[in-house]
Structure 1
């Protein structure tokens, strides 16, 4: 469906770009006059800030708006090599394929903005009361045990963290959603017969300056607002020397004054603890911004940004609003729907003389040398086409071509990918942009109570690491279970390791207990047969007697399994019936 829609909608791109192109000369962003839309949710009715927002976009329109591709026409394939190389270079800035996960992020963003405005209605007395008290005073006071700020208002704002592997396209996704699906500035004048000369800035996206502090971030915020509204906040607050606290308080007042809908902070890994107002102040600042002022916030960054959350955010999680959530994304998996959809749509954009069909082997090679990272995949595809066009001949893309391009033009990332493909955690423990530091991250995830979503390759590895983290405890439990069956510590330990290694540490505990029981039973039967053969060979025929096995207790696991088999029960059912196998959750509670 996505591929069909993508191809159908690309042709409409030129008209789309003018849909919201309401510019004011000299000012940045899209400015519109308020037009109020009917609301269904009673909490949104009668709120000019919410009613002035565009209606929620459906999936088909979302694809229509965000899909883009470079110019396509069969005649382009017959142009000169120089002209075709120019078209090939156009693939990277122009190609964009919306995916289902992108639409989910849009819905989350849209809801965040609306809910954030619910506690900031300009027609309510509370709105003016907060301005009367002063936003700087409200910010400094924080919130009480009920979540109310100094004015008595309980903010409805939510916050979200978007962490992804470099080259995932998170920044580009949010820029496309914000610029093409939302106006940036809405100007109000009258609502239901009442004068409301207010400016509503729906969104501002700020990139953290490299290796700088919260204070520098505030100055960047002033500059963005000035570009958007033609104000002079940077000159008024940013150029004057002063403490970080003063810069922060002034930023709070500005954000409240412009009725900011959502603040997007990109490249948060650049905030360094070594600088004044480092990571702890940054997290405290964001928490206060959401809780006391009511401005939804989205933090975006690479895996390097996880250091911000491993310690400081876990320690301040009590102050995090209930709507807080995190999304952590790795590269696409080779057998995933997203990867297949992405590479198939990208592969259609060819400017070579002869079109190369995408075979399973070519798709596999593209994945191997790009590791499912969108940005790397696009670059690899561009370089392959360029090489074919320059070299001439039939200009068809081959596996050899992909390999040669990857090892020459993308050799820096290939050395990193080789370390990842090795599967040895020690080989890539310093690759912060590719692999997160799982040990502290897993500890953080297990402690926090808010919603965390883990996607792509990172989801699979996260589950594996969580299981391996308890390897010692799991092996201990398996050995304790096995020793009851075999009576030999060394044999019990051997069985425990054998079962654990068979699943590479990913097995369900209950299932591993069943496997141990079956192996123990098989071993016991083999041992009895061996003893009988030995006795038969050593004793004279006239002395050969039938060996009588000693009676077993009814509580003996071997007896329970044998009786169960006679009753046509499986080993697992027999042990469960006797109460020897418990639920995995109950066992895990003992481990932890």
Structure 2
């Protein structure tokens, strides 16, 4: 499984690029799914335990890293942005997406003539490269989509992308059951609703995304045409069906509220058409404000899409899931002093995030950045530090958190589009803290060098400090940690214990280089000795001997062979 990559499209939204594989077919247990090439190429259905393993994402971590310099640890905290501990929401999402993809493929077997009839009957006005003899659909597609509603920045999108990453995005078919079968299967496609809610812009996003994945030129073909959105939508549907699109995911659906009058309803009707007529399930993701679009006058459309709305809820403080989540998260401490987790810390983290796991991870990162490497600040996590960090760096989240504390749905609708803590805020704060650490580190290094220069011996200038400083520079250059320590100590001994840091660094690097060469030589000596070439005498007519003797006399092999009569002029072979 590979992470999903993002590429910026022409209008500022993103194309989401997943994995491409060659089809490997799995036997289907369900009688309704047997001999369906699209279903057979999908990865296996996961049990809940297997889904937990697939969803979990735990960054690399060693306790010894807390002993490293602060500038290193500041960077290490960033790893937490990839931390995922599966929650009930995410497991439910995994099962739903599995059901909608497989359910949509049940009646869309490209080997079945009934599917071809269904496809052509859905869009009779399109040119299908041949006379259309089918007038009525003969099967009933079983695809159903659903909507995901939740506050901005709480992890909906991240969770969806993590589930989608389990499935290859593009499956290339070449042969099935011993017969040639060349087909591209687009398992999933994720789009972002355009900022202005334009239907035509969304359709063009579809063309661009397919081009990025498939190497096609649909966008070039359609974006300059004068065709309206109504005329382009059937083309989009035809491409989706011909590529065997398994599921279409539309994020930021609340932007449809910016569409021109009637545009939102038209777009939602199009999603229903994809579901009902060609069997492509649609998943809509949006904030609480998107509920205005998906309710009231659009209630009938909403029912056509949905197998049930999924409201992205926060964890309850008393739930076992919250306790497990905090316990897993808490071990990723890069502060020099480890702070054991207790009830007061867990309660404060919950109070400041209201059980929103994505927000809890970000607050934990911000809290560590607030103290690592800052002069005069103890690197210890306390409830007061968590509260102060949230107050300072999560101001935009406070209205949402207050609404959650009070269960105020009206406020959630009002503030639903506010991003609690954006990635830009995290990066900006991280950089500012790293710059403080860098300046402090430079001052400390300068002070140490001044101390070295004024001291009579290294012992007076704190020999151990110098060893650590030299060793860390070697480690940063790629030298093994133990070798780095030995080389640092060796450098001091070489100079009789009286040198400055520059000389120590130079000698230590020379020792490290020598140690690397010795290790390489030992490795070479352990290899099987190369076969010794024997001096075999050549006969007078041996071509190898002729060329060898020629080289000794600085004569090219071609000339030597020509002089010996083995190379003739081409004219000798011309017909007389």
TM superposition score normalised by structure 1: 0.63
1:75 aligns with 2:64: yes
1:353 aligns with 2:342: no
1:42 aligns with 2:31: yes
Note closer, same or farther for the CA distance 1:419–1:35 as it changes in structure 2 (3 Å cut).
Answer: closer
**Which secondary structure state, in structure 1, belongs to the residue aligned with residue 227 of structure 2?**
coil
Deviation for aligned residue 1:305: 1.0
Instruction: Tell me the distance in 1 between the aligned counterparts of 2:408 and 2:18.
Output: 47
Contact 1:160–1:325 (Cα < 8 Å) also in 2: yes
- Superposed CA RMSD: 2.7
Instruction: Tell me the distance in 1 between the aligned counterparts of 2:174 and 2:266.
Output: 38
Q: CA offsets, 1:286-307, max 9 Å, x none?
A: 1111001110111111111111
Contact 2:150–2:416 (Cα < 8 Å) also in 1: no
1:221 aligns with 2:209: no
Note closer, same or farther for the CA distance 1:102–1:423 as it changes in structure 2 (3 Å cut).
Answer: closer
Note closer, same or farther for the CA distance 1:308–1:398 as it changes in structure 2 (3 Å cut).
Answer: same
Instruction: Tell me the distance in 1 between the aligned counterparts of 2:204 and 2:413.
Output: 35
The residue number in structure 2 matching 1:579 is none
Instruction: Tell me the distance in 2 between the aligned counterparts of 1:172 and 1:75.
Output: 30
The residue number in structure 2 matching 1:57 is 46
Of the three residues 415, 418, 422, the one matched with 1:431 is: 415
Deviation for aligned residue 1:233: 0.8
Of the three residues 239, 243, 246, the one matched with 2:231 is: 246
The residue number in structure 2 matching 1:454 is none
Instruction: Tell me the distance in 2 between the aligned counterparts of 1:108 and 1:415.
Output: 31
**Which secondary structure state, in structure 2, belongs to the residue aligned with residue 43 of structure 1?**
helix
1:120 aligns with 2:108: yes
The residue number in structure 2 matching 1:396 is 380
Instruction: Tell me the distance in 1 between the aligned counterparts of 2:406 and 2:29.
Output: 54
1:96 aligns with 2:93: no
Deviation for aligned residue 1:114: 1.3
1:164 aligns with 2:147: no
Of the three residues 238, 248, 252, the one matched with 1:267 is: 252
Instruction: Tell me the distance in 2 between the aligned counterparts of 1:423 and 1:57.
Output: 35
Deviation for aligned residue 1:132: 4.7
Instruction: Tell me the distance in 2 between the aligned counterparts of 1:244 and 1:429.
Output: 30
Deviation for aligned residue 1:276: 5.9
The residue number in structure 2 matching 1:327 is 310
1:85 aligns with 2:74: yes
**Which secondary structure state, in structure 2, belongs to the residue aligned with residue 250 of structure 1?**
helix
The residue number in structure 2 matching 1:153 is 139
Of the three residues 78, 99, 107, the one matched with 1:111 is: 99
Contact 1:167–1:374 (Cα < 8 Å) also in 2: no
Instruction: Tell me the distance in 2 between the aligned counterparts of 1:295 and 1:348.
Output: 43
Instruction: Tell me the distance in 2 between the aligned counterparts of 1:101 and 1:416.
Output: 19
TM superposition score normalised by structure 2: 0.65
1:362 aligns with 2:342: no
Q: CA offsets, 1:157-207, max 9 Å, x none?
A: 11111112222211111111111x111111112222333221111111111
Deviation for aligned residue 1:52: 1.1
Deviation for aligned residue 1:383: 1.5
Instruction: Tell me the distance in 1 between the aligned counterparts of 2:216 and 2:285.
Output: 27
Instruction: Tell me the distance in 2 between the aligned counterparts of 1:296 and 1:425.
Output: 29
Of the three residues 150, 155, 163, the one matched with 1:177 is: 163
The residue number in structure 1 matching 2:393 is 409
Q: CA offsets, 1:522-541, max 9 Å, x none?
A: xxxxxxxxxxxxxxxxxxxx
Of the three residues 342, 359, 364, the one matched with 1:381 is: 364
Contact 1:161–1:325 (Cα < 8 Å) also in 2: yes
Note closer, same or farther for the CA distance 1:203–1:420 as it changes in structure 2 (3 Å cut).
Answer: closer
Aligned residues: 400
Deviation for aligned residue 1:274: 4.1
**Which secondary structure state, in structure 1, belongs to the residue aligned with residue 372 of structure 2?**
helix
Instruction: Tell me the distance in 2 between the aligned counterparts of 1:152 and 1:428.
Output: 45
Q: Which runs of 5+ in 2 are unaligned?
A: 4-15, 128-133, 420-576
Note closer, same or farther for the CA distance 1:154–1:307 as it changes in structure 2 (3 Å cut).
Answer: same
Instruction: Tell me the distance in 2 between the aligned counterparts of 1:428 and 1:235.
Output: 41
Note closer, same or farther for the CA distance 1:17–1:242 as it changes in structure 2 (3 Å cut).
Answer: closer
Deviation for aligned residue 1:329: 2.3
Q: Where does structure 1 differ by over 6 angstroms across 4 or more consecutive aligned residues?
A: 423-429
Deviates more, 1:251-260 or 1:101-110: 101-110
Deviation for aligned residue 1:349: 0.6
**Which secondary structure state, in structure 1, belongs to the residue aligned with residue 220 of structure 2?**
helix
The residue number in structure 2 matching 1:337 is 320
1:195-210 → structure 2 map (5 Å cutoff): 195-210=180-195
Instruction: Tell me the distance in 2 between the aligned counterparts of 1:401 and 1:308.
Output: 41
Instruction: Tell me the distance in 2 between the aligned counterparts of 1:298 and 1:328.
Output: 13
Contact 1:208–1:268 (Cα < 8 Å) also in 2: yes
